[in-house]
Amino acid sequence: MKYLRSFGRFWWNFIVGDDWRVAAGLVVAFALTWLLEHEGMSAWWVLPLGVALLLFESLWREARSAETQ
C-alpha cells in the first residue's frame, strides 16, 4: 500500500505538480477546443489564450502567497 501511494504521488507530482488548478484548467481548455472544433468553429486560439490566463492566475496567486509569508 505504501509503495502504491508513493507510486501515485510520483506520477501526480510528475504530471500535475505544485498547482492542480493549472492541470484542471488545461482539461477545460482542451475540452473547449475539442467542442468548438467539433461544432465546426475554428478553435486554434483557445489553448494559447487558456495557457496565458492559467499561467497568469497561478503566478500571481503564488506571488501573493509568498508576499504574505
Partner 1 sequence: MLDRLDVLHTNAFVTCTTAEPAHPLRRLRKVPNAECSRRMTHDIVLFAAAFLASAVEAVEALTIVLAVGVVRGWRSTLIGVGAASLVLAAVAAALGPALQHIPIETLRFVVGALLLAFGLQWLRKAILRASGYKPLHDEAEAFSRGRQEAGSAGTVDRGRIDWYSFTVAFKGVLLEGLEVAFIVVSFGAAQGHWGPAVAAAVAAGVLVVAAGLVVRGPLQRVPENTLKFVVGVLLSSFGIFWGGEGAGVEWPGGDVAILGVIGFVALISLVFTRALRRRRIALQPVAAQG
Distance from C-alpha of 25 to C-alpha of 15, rounded to nearest angstrom = 14
Residue from 8, 12, 21, 59 touching partner 1 (CB under 8 A): that is: 59
Q: Does 51 bind partner 1 (CB under 8 A)?
A: yes
Residue from 7, 9, 21, 48 touching partner 1 (CB under 8 A): that is: 48
Distance from C-alpha of 32 to C-alpha of 65, rounded to nearest angstrom = 30
The CB density around residue 66, as the number of other CB atoms within 10 Å, is 8
- The residues binding partner 1 (CB under 8 A) are 14-19, 22-23, 26, 30, 33-34, 37-38, 42-44, 47-48, 51-52, 54-56, 58-60, 62-63, 66-67
